[in-house]
Amino acid sequence: TRTNPLDPVLKSSGLGVSRGKTVASKAQRKKDRNKSYAKGRAELEKELERASKAGEVIMKDASELPVSRRQAKLAARAAAVREANAKGQQNEEEEVAGDAAESEMDVD
């Protein structure tokens, strides 16, 4: 509770009361934190890339590693979707090639 009427009014946020900070500033801090994490990940990836090119680190195929049943299921589903998309793309290319061949015959 405020005893002095000149004290700042505490704004409530989704999770309890943020002391003297607005909800917007809290959201901004979260964005900044996420950006810094992303920057750190990018630097880590660059470092790994450099190390693998230099031969200091040997990159291992992650598909060889054991995964949980859920991850295996998700990977199988993703592979099936990729395969279906590739098949669909191939069928479209064949249809386009067939249409082009037919249109050439009509020209005569």
Q: Could you tell me if 51 and 57 are in contact, meaning their C-beta atoms sit under 8 angstroms apart?
A: yes
What is the reported pLDDT for 44?
92
Residue labelled with tokens 């450099």: 50
What is the band of 93 on the pLDDT scale with cuts at 50, 70, 90?
A: confident
Residue 107 pLDDT > 60: no
Residue 60's identity, in one-letter code, is K
SS3 label, residue 94: helix
Per residue in 46-56, pLDDT (tens digit) is: 998 898 888 88
What is the reported pLDDT for 1?
53
User: What string of DSSP letters covers 33-59?
Assistant: HHHHHHHHHHHHHHHHHHHHHHTSS--
Residue 17 pairs with which residues in a beta bridge? 12
Q: Could you tell me if 57 and 48 are in contact, meaning their C-beta atoms sit under 8 angstroms apart?
A: yes
Per residue in 11-59, pLDDT (tens digit) is: 555 555 556 667 788 889 999 999 999 999 999 999 988 988 888 877 7
pTM (whole model) above 0.95: no
